[in-house]
Amino acid sequence: TYVLSADKDFAAQTIHAIGRCASTISEVTEACLNGLVALMSKKDETIVAESVVVIKKLLQINPSQYSEIIKHIVRMVDKVTVPTARASILWLIGEYSDRISKLAPDVLRKMAKSFPDEETIVKHQILNLAAKLYVVNAKQTHLLVQYVFNLAKYDTNYDTRDKARLLRALLIQTDKCPALSKHAKKILLAPKPAPILESIIRDHDQYTLGTLSFVIDQKATGYKDLPEFPLEAPDSSVRNVEVIPSSTSQNAASKRSSA
């Protein structure tokens, strides 16, 4: 199949195409999701990473229907090593922690242990996860969240340090800004619109696929639109093509006649 192609970019684009089909055609959404989840067991990190990213977008459309898939993805966080995929999994955990209330704190504990060695994109999602768990379960996660923020405070990346400082100010009530922490849950867990997975050829669909006009995205000389499908089947004679003799065959015929 295309997803197992040796060309990694082609395989990645195939997985994204599956995601677009799943988001556009509701009848095949579940089948596509199950197929993408199956791809997560592959040994190829590129396939696993792209599958996680696409699944994350699809789950945002209707998360309540796919709680089991979310749990399955959470259990794979230790096996996934590609930063973008790890970040996507952590985002899912933080966003839907109410559906995995027993698993989420344990994931944060593991991420706190590996925090110094993670990529920046993953560190940012660890901080987001810590903040989201704090607002829904401060009693259980308070010390762990404080530990993660302290790690980020001395991180070499200034974006990570700034993010930790921002989240700490948002969560911890102070005399200077006592009201801000009261709205932390609304800010961090506000409803988010599901992403729209649009086709990369959406702007070209006015031209027939495979034509020069489709490639250059403008009408080329000699381009003709395909006719609309008829309501009634036309006579078979419309498919007859006039055969125009080539110049070679004409020359050969003239030579034979002159001989």
Per-residue confidence (pLDDT) for residue 176, from 0 to 100: 65
**125 and 252 within one domain:** no
Q: Residue for token digits 């997975």?
A: 197
Identify the domain containing residue 47 by its residue range: 2-188
In a domain, 253, yes or no: yes
In a domain, 162, yes or no: yes
Give dist(CA 182, CA 180) in Å, integer: 5
In a domain, 196, yes or no: no
In a domain, 142, yes or no: yes
Taking the alpha carbons of 166, 192, 98, 182 in that order, is the dihedral positive or negative? positive
Of 131, 161, 188, the residue at which a domain comes to its end is: 188
pTM: 0.72
The CATH number assigned to the domain holding 74 equals 1.25.10.10
Answer yes or no: are the C-beta atoms of 156 and 120 closer than 8 Å.
no
pLDDT digits (tens, 9 = 90+) for 13-23: 888 888 888 88
With CA atoms as reference, report the closest residue to 89 among 112, 59, 114: 59
**144 and 241 within one domain:** no
Q: How many domains does the chain have?
A: 2
Q: Phi/psi zone of residue 198: left (φ > 0), alpha (ψ -120 to 50 degrees), beta?
A: beta
**249 and 152 within one domain:** no
pLDDT digits (tens, 9 = 90+) for 235-259: 888 778 777 776 655 565 555 655 5
Q: Tell me the two tokens of residue 64.
A: 């309540």
**214 and 102 within one domain:** no
In a domain, 194, yes or no: no
**220 and 100 within one domain:** no
